[in-house]
Structure 1
Amino acid sequence: MASDQNASAEDARSSRVIRVVFLALLLDLLGFTLILPLLPSILDHYSQTGDSVYQSLQSIVNWFRGAVGVPMETKYNSVLFGGLIGSLYSFLQFLSSPIIGALSDDYGRKPLLLLTTVGLIGSYILWAFSHSFSMFLLSRVVGGICKGNVSLCTAIVADLPCPKARNKGMAMIGVAFSLGFTLGPLMGAYFALKLKDAEMFYQGPAMLAVLFSLGDLIFIFLMLPETLQKEVTECNSKSSGSSGIQQSGDLLSPVALFNFTAVTRTENPPSEQKMQNLKMLGLVYFTYLFLFSGLEFTLSFLTHQRFQFSSMQQGKMFFFIGITMAVIQGGYARRIKPGHQIQTLSVAIVCLIPAFLLIGMAWNLTLLYSGLFLYSFAAAIVVPCLSAQVSGHGSASQKGTVMGILRSLGALARALGPIVTSSVYWLAGAELCFIASSAFFIVPLVLLSRLKRQKEE
């Protein structure tokens, strides 16, 4: 009887934590995504100011465009320039995510979440008053360094004791992503149009981002419980071999990150078999996101080149993707049982092969949207399932480090994938790019089959 009551209390606590994490991350992502539809207009605005930093970056974009044969068109230039800034943002997250995650193992999830949210508020204030491109770029740099909310939220969910609750929590994080990336851009475009000052059209969305982050800060302070046990933080702070800044080399070296070295050097490292599984999951995560982010980036090239999509049509396409993902994550992904995640992952990645084949060879909108539906189905499942699998590795004192390293590997993939894939797209053509890339999804499938064999053995 007492055990049933304890289990019921634990379930209620887990459900509360998941709800708070979902709402906190949604507020964070709404503020983060407001800028997405405005980026081409912002770049066009700064191109007219003669800013020296802008001109230097533009020369890099021009060199890349000439090297891979991108046509001289404003639409493509905006996408490439935005991609360059996006890669910089992802690279900064690659550097900061494992350090933020490791520090949360030492000092707790909530203090680090509050600190990174304050940093994001600062980045949005810089954006609101960015009268020069240099100031705008500084705001993106500060934002990239401080964008630790996602890895911290996954660490909070990883702290939950029940695998079923962790799986549900990771799926709800996916729902927050889908809703944030669906609603945020629409709100950004709306508030930009409402502002009467054409020179400062971005100031309305920027101030809205500040308000979202302020609301997020207050909500986290009042509602989020600390999920890392006090005795764990005390033990970590006293231990000479703790994670945190002492192992900064292990948290910055790509080789060490792929090997999860910072996890193995703790006082109570996981078993050799668990470390092998963790490394395999990290490699699956990286290869999947490297391929996926590259094809996602070139999607706007394809739809503009083949179907002459306007910005509004592009927006409708991404709205379809976001809503489909949110429905699948909220209805199906959160109900996947822990023992079935590897099998479900494999099915989802298999779906990406026909998805990108259909998109790459589509000659009408029916084929395109059929491919986009399969794409959305897979995208809704893969990251939540992989995150839930990884969250089961490491002790309570290592969860932040583990999830921070995973987020870092994903950020590195998102920094490199668009550059490589867009080069292939323009050098070899859309069809060959999508066909070849879809074939490479066999790599994470092979890695998953090895992982499944290891677990069975």
Structure 2
Amino acid sequence: MSDGEHMPLAPPVRRAAVAFIFITVLIDILAFGIIIPVLPHLIEAMTGGGVSNAAWWVGIFGTVFAAVQFFSSPIQGALSDRFGRRPVILLSNLGLGLDFVLMALAPSLWLLFVGRIISGMTAASFTTANAYIADVTPPEKRASAFGLLGGAFGIGFIIGPALGGFLGGIDLRLPFWVAAGLALANFMYGFFILPESLPPERRAPRFEPHTAHPLGALRLLRCSPTVFGLAIVTFLFYLAHYVLQTTFVLYADYRYHWGAQAVGFVLALVGACDGSVQAFLTGRLTGRFGERKVLVAGLTFGTVAFAVMGLAATGWVFLIAIPLMALWGLSGPPMQSIMTRCVSPSEQGRLQGAITSLGSFAGIFGPYLFAQIFAFSIAPEREVHLPGVAFLLAAVLIGAGAVVAARATRWMAPAQDPP
């Protein structure tokens, strides 16, 4: 199927189904968001080697988590294409809930590490939720629907990190217990409420193991020049994003002396800005200016935001960049929407699994890369400390992504024909 060719329209949007998946994603993000402010500090407490040593271990945790997702996501996507989205989401939520219990009880670093591996294996609901949205929305409405899911991410990050920072101030283990309760509640919600989005007649006829491994899934991304180009952009997008997941908590503590509670509130601000952009601007802007312009503009805003963060010598300058970073989020929904139009309904799960694998592949390198850059930049033996270098690298990556995106989608520009 060519890049400019539309598939037959999906069934009319089922608002109830979209609402159900919105709540599912929201609860999952709350569970993950709660542990963000405390996991690096718990690792630091277990290692007892200071910030630089903790940064190294945080990088290792992030890399292994991503590597596990890299292998697991295509399998989960292919299973959802064959057996439906609902059972995959339910198993994911149940697995996460039990895993958070394990992490809450972990008496040592290695058992916490095992818990993080299990999290990578079971964190499938985000991938399957995107396929769910593609099932129930027509192509021209998908950017707006993906933006709505982005709003769920934003709301989750408003409440989750702030709550996690507050709970972590009481006990570093408490956020994990709350996250476990949320994930298990999400399983019960899905079991009794969440409908199936992929009817049997639209499912893949069989589960094919050769397409479910990472390399097989990534081959799907070569189905057209546009999908391949946007796959490169997706990889750069995820790679740059790991600077936040890996170094932000330690960076903010080192450079601005923000503790767990302050970081939680800052992440809540990030979530508020991002959720507002995703929920209220994405659909309006893509409808008015088109997906291509919004995609490139979002990546441009991200480039500027990370450059400001890397150069910010004071906390208030860093905060100025947060609204710009929220506008970076404009790029995600149109990018996914354009890619979903280029594959068939029975391949949406594989596509989302491949996209998640790209993020996980970036995560194999990103956490270690940014953690090591940050640790090197603040090493005690260095005469000049440059703690913002990791954020400047992220700005370069996103800027490169903006150039690739503009070229990959140039057929969408006015007065041009598709390739």
- TM-score, normalized by length of structure 2? 0.85
1:357-396 matches, within 5 Å, as 357-378=307-328, 380-396=329-345
Deviations 1:55-102 (A, max 9, x none): xxxxxxxxxxxxxxxxxx723433332232122112211111111001
Aligned mates of 1:429, 1:36 — CA distance in 2: 24
Aligned mates of 1:400, 1:332 — CA distance in 2: 27
1:231 positional shift = 1.2
Aligned mates of 2:31, 2:139 — CA distance in 1: 30
1:289 and 2:238 equivalent? Answer: yes
Please list every run of 5 or more consecutive structure 1 residues that lacks an aligned counterpart in the other structure. 1-8, 49-72, 196-200, 238-242, 265-271
Deviations 1:170-220 (A, max 9, x none): 11211111222232233334445556xxxxx51x43332232122211211
Q: Which residue of 1 aligns with 2:26?
A: 26
Q: Which residue of 2 aligns with 1:331?
A: 280
Aligned mates of 2:343, 2:219 — CA distance in 1: 14
Retained in 2: the 8 A contact 1:43–1:78?
Answer: yes
Retained in 1: the 8 A contact 2:38–2:164?
Answer: yes
1:354 and 2:307 equivalent? Answer: no
Distance 1:219 1:244, change over 3 A: farther
1:257 positional shift = 4.5
Aligned mates of 2:170, 2:255 — CA distance in 1: 32
Deviations 1:308-366 (A, max 9, x none): 33333333322221111111111111334367112111111112232223222223444
Greater Cα shift, 111-120 or 434-443 = 434-443
Distance 1:174 1:314, change over 3 A: same
Q: Which residue of 2 aligns with 1:260?
A: 220
* RMSD over aligned Cα atoms: 2.7
Q: Which residue of 1 aligns with 2:228?
A: 279
Retained in 2: the 8 A contact 1:280–1:451?
Answer: yes
1:10-159 matches, within 5 Å, as 11=12, 13-47=13-47, 74-159=50-135
Aligned mates of 1:300, 1:189 — CA distance in 2: 11
1:431 positional shift = 5.4
Paired residue type of 1:374: L
1:225 and 2:225 equivalent? Answer: no
Q: Secondary structure at the match of 2:346?
A: coil
Aligned mates of 1:321, 1:436 — CA distance in 2: 20
**Aligned residue among 412, 420, 441 for 2:398:** 441
1:227 positional shift = 1.1
Retained in 1: the 8 A contact 2:226–2:409?
Answer: no
Paired residue type of 1:394: V
Retained in 1: the 8 A contact 2:37–2:263?
Answer: no
Aligned mates of 2:399, 2:44 — CA distance in 1: 40
1:208-219 matches, within 5 Å, as 208-219=178-189
Aligned mates of 2:252, 2:176 — CA distance in 1: 29
1:453 and 2:410 equivalent? Answer: yes
Deviations 1:363-418 (A, max 9, x none): 3444322222212221x212222222222231111100001100110122133223
Q: Which residue of 2 aligns with 1:205?
A: 175
Retained in 2: the 8 A contact 1:108–1:226?
Answer: yes
Q: Secondary structure at the match of 2:38?
A: helix
Deviations 1:137-168 (A, max 9, x none): 22221111011000000000011241243222
Aligned mates of 1:347, 1:123 — CA distance in 2: 39
**Aligned residue among 361, 369, 394 for 1:420:** 369
1:295 positional shift = 5.8
Retained in 1: the 8 A contact 2:133–2:146?
Answer: yes
Q: Which residue of 2 aligns with 1:188?
A: 164
- TM-score, normalized by length of structure 1? 0.78
Q: Which residue of 1 aligns with 2:380?
A: none
Work out the number of aligned pairs and report it.
396
Identical positions, percent? 22
Please list every run of 5 or more consecutive structure 2 residues that lacks an aligned counterpart in the other structure. 1-9, 378-384
Distance 1:216 1:304, change over 3 A: closer
Aligned mates of 1:402, 1:320 — CA distance in 2: 32
Q: Secondary structure at the match of 1:227?
A: coil
Aligned mates of 1:192, 1:282 — CA distance in 2: 37
Q: Which has the higher contact order (CA 8 A, sep 6+)?
A: 2
Aligned mates of 1:384, 1:350 — CA distance in 2: 15
Aligned mates of 1:85, 1:371 — CA distance in 2: 27
Retained in 2: the 8 A contact 1:14–1:160?
Answer: yes
Aligned mates of 1:41, 1:436 — CA distance in 2: 25
